[in-house]
Structure 1
Amino acid sequence: MSQLRKAPEGILGFPVAPFNREGKLEEEALYENIRFLLDEGLEAVFIACGSGEFQSLSTKEYEQMVEIAVSAAGGKVPVYTGVGGNLSTALEWARISEEKGADGYLILPPYLIHGEQEGLYQYTKTIIESTDLNAIIYQRDNAVLTLEQIQRLTDLEQLVGLKDGIGDMALNISLSYTIGDRLGWLNGMPMAEVTMPAYAPIGFTSYSSAISNYIPHISRMFYEALLNGNDRLVKEIYEHVIMPINEIRKLRKGYAVSLIKAGMEIMGLHVKNTARPPIVPVEKDHCRQLENILKNAMARYPKTTAAL
């Protein structure tokens, strides 16, 4: 485990949980998914988080996924896990993450309950203090901490970053401008490429990329164009890739996860269009729409142009 107290930067890989038709975890497919992300240059692996269907995993499956991720990464990039939900489970999975050699974890919301700010602070603090691993707060759903609470948490050296999944830009500006480089700032909005032009200028230059699971070179082209001020290319990729995929993603609840698997299957990767309830697989007509988008995207932006 790396003791570097710094959040990962750049495009962050969030592997899926590949399930077969019987609903069992496909370990080989997961290993291939992670190796694919690493071969494409993604700067970190976040295993068993939202895209990895954290909410549907058993403890045994969670251990398997962490072990595979650490093995596949081989120390080349940091490996972060997802911990959250029931506090007892969160603490157990944080311990497992440390034992299996992960570098840190993303703290997901507590199960169901809408707690007061002091309660959310204590929940987050308890998890962070439970291990020596790096920790990243995930702002979303029923767990959105105020500037005051996050400032209190910065007293803990394990806290290295904050990932935003709610899109409150006034809060984000207040956080990033007040706390500054004490934390790393990550864009965790659904299909984060959509909002990156708004996030990058306030310091959120890292993001979780769903499309990197199946068209990582296009995500990289977009990222480099955005940081380098190539507005023409940013707008082109928006028009021909990002917004069309995002329109499909919005059609059904849960498509933020299952559309990734559908895209991977279309691109010939070893993942099936399956998910555990309550998430549903992508419908056939929507798969056809996605296939057409990806076919046109690959013709317009072939992989050989990714470095241009």
Structure 2
Amino acid sequence: MTSTYTGEVVERLRQGMAAAVLSFPLTPFDAEGHIDVDAFRTHLREQVAAGPGALFPCCGTGEFFSLAEDEYATLIAAAVEEAGGRVPVVAGAGYGWAQAARFVAAAERAGADAILLMPPYLVETPQSGLVDHVRKVAATTALPLIVYQRAQVKIASASVPELAGIPNVIGIKDGHCDLDQLQRLRLAAPPEWLFFNGAATAEMQARAYRAIGVPAYSSAVHAFAPEISKAFFHAFHAGDDAEVERLLSEFYVPLVELRDKGTGYAVSLVKAAARLRGAGVGPVRAPLADPAAHHIEELDALLTKGLALVGATR
């Protein structure tokens, strides 16, 4: 049975997903590679002011994979404080279930509203093992969990009833862009479950996802140009296909083509774009590396063009 708290979180997230894109904040590092909490708070305030549906700190875009547990705890606490209850805070957590449980416990102590459970590290798993992994993490917390399928994790529709039997599992973030598979999951899931498009540049697939009943999506662009992200969202929900196609063809497609020129650019290019706009987010942390200089020049020109498309300035 779903708890009252879980139901309240689901409803807040549902409303947020219908009203705005989902924000995945960056994690700022200083020149020595330490987390920069003051810069993080500034970035969070800017993200919240732009009106997202929810904040997802310390996830893929936030370089969860390179954070120590104490750094993570500090960052989630800062995110909860800066959100101030205005939007839900969904903290990333991952690795094997024992490690994930420690991060989840830190997020719960910090006041996060829910958890985005990222794929377990490296290993490929049978469906029974994947379900058991989720079950073991869920058993350690009262927080609701959204399961993230991407990379080596792909949930079978036959596993959905088992996952739905875990009281605090509330939905799926999809990073595979396999609409046939996702449709099967959605139809097998309880009606109250949440689904959202978590592709690297989700605006590219937004119309296709909406066609199978999954209109909500996360936006990496929101981390550096919420003006563009919001303009696309409003055109998308208003049915303004001409504006959607203009933004896709003149900004999003060139952005994806640039992103595909480098390994890890789904994160490092986003961070470089934020720096180009004056955000003090610093470099990425190893094992990622910052984009090549000539790619940053291309990004600079594209960012200027994208902002001009929506009537914004640098």
Q: TM-score, normalised by structure 2?
A: 0.93
Contact 2:183 2:212 in 1 (8 A): yes
Residue of structure 2 aligned with 1:284, choices 288, 293, 302: 293
Residue of structure 2 aligned with 1:121, choices 112, 131, 134: 131
Partners in 1 of 2:104 and 2:137 — Cα distance? 7
Note the alpha carbon deviations across 1:140-177, whole angstroms, 9 max, x for none.
Answer: 11221111112211122311221001111111111223
Contact 2:197 2:216 in 1 (8 A): yes
Residue of structure 2 aligned with 1:22, choices 32, 38, 43: 32
1:11 aligns with 2:21: yes
Partners in 2 of 1:142 and 1:130 — Cα distance? 24
SS of the residue aligned with 2:103? helix
- AA aligned opposite 2:290: P
- AA aligned opposite 1:140: R
Indicate the residue corresponding to 2:82 in structure 1. Answer: 72
SS of the residue aligned with 1:22? coil
Indicate the residue corresponding to 1:294 in structure 2. Answer: 303
Contact 2:227 2:307 in 1 (8 A): no
Indicate the residue corresponding to 1:207 in structure 2. Answer: 217
- AA aligned opposite 2:280: H
Indicate the residue corresponding to 1:187 in structure 2. Answer: 197
Structure 1 alignment gaps of length 5 or more: none
Structure 2 alignment gaps of length 5 or more: none
Partners in 1 of 2:284 and 2:36 — Cα distance? 12
Indicate the residue corresponding to 1:232 in structure 2. Answer: 242
- AA aligned opposite 1:64: T
1:262 aligns with 2:272: yes
- The two structures, once aligned, show a CA RMSD in angstroms of 1.6
SS of the residue aligned with 1:193? helix
Note the alpha carbon deviations across 1:223-264, whole angstroms, 9 max, x for none.
Answer: 121122111000000011111111111111110011111110
Question: What is the CA-CA distance between 1:180 and the residue it aligns to?
Answer: 5.5
1:87 aligns with 2:103: no
5 Å matches for 1:213-224?
213-224=223-234
Partners in 2 of 1:22 and 1:100 — Cα distance? 26
Question: What is the CA-CA distance between 1:96 and the residue it aligns to?
Answer: 1.0
Partners in 2 of 1:151 and 1:223 — Cα distance? 32
* Closer, same or farther: CA 134–41 of 1 in aligned 2, 3 Å: same
Partners in 2 of 1:120 and 1:265 — Cα distance? 38
Q: TM-score, normalised by structure 1?
A: 0.95
Contact 2:93 2:100 in 1 (8 A): yes
Contact 1:176 1:185 in 2 (8 A): yes
Residue of structure 1 aligned with 2:181, choices 140, 158, 171: 171
- AA aligned opposite 1:240: E
Question: What is the CA-CA distance between 1:17 and the residue it aligns to?
Answer: 1.1
Question: What is the CA-CA distance between 1:2 and the residue it aligns to?
Answer: 5.8
Q: 67-76 or 194-203, which moves further after superposition?
A: 194-203
Q: 172-181 or 67-76, which moves further after superposition?
A: 172-181
- AA aligned opposite 1:134: P
Partners in 1 of 2:42 and 2:91 — Cα distance? 18
Runs of 4+ in 1 over 3 A off after TM superposition: none
Indicate the residue corresponding to 1:147 in structure 2. Answer: 157
